[in-house]
């Protein structure tokens, strides 16, 4: 299943460039080059999100687990706590 993505910040500046991800998935990479989050579009159009691996970003070593916080009825925040 194909997935299209675009840079949300660039959209604010008028850049509407979209990138097709033929695999249907995208990895968000931390500063150290390791996967911080993996996002996959499933056949039922749900999202599957993988926590990646222990990685360093922003000078902090992050765990490979999630903290999930509801923000509203249509938004959640996923964070990776500091590795201890």
pLDDT at 74: 96
Q: Give the tens place of pLDDT for each residue, 31-44.
A: 999 999 999 999 89
**Confidence check: pLDDT of 11 > 80:** no
Return the structure tokens found at 33.
Answer: 């080059």
Q: What is the CA radius of gyration of the chain?
A: 14
Q: How far apart are CA 44 and CA 65, in angstroms?
A: 25
Pick from 29, 25, 64: which is nearest to 48 by CA? 25
Tens digit of pLDDT for each residue in 23-81?
Answer: 999 999 999 999 999 999 998 989 999 999 999 999 999 999 999 999 999 999 999 99
């Amino acid at each position: 299943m194909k997935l299209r993505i675009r840079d949300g910040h660039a959209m604010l500046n008028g850049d509407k460039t979209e990138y097709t991800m033929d695999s249907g998935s995208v990895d968000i990479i931390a500063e150290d080059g390791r996967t911080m989050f993996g996002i996959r579009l499933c056949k039922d159009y749900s999202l599957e999100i993988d926590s990646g691996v222990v990685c360093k970003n922003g000078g902090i070593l992050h765990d490979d687990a999630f903290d999930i916080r509801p923000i509203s009825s249509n938004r959640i925040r996923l964070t990776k706590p500091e590795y201890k």
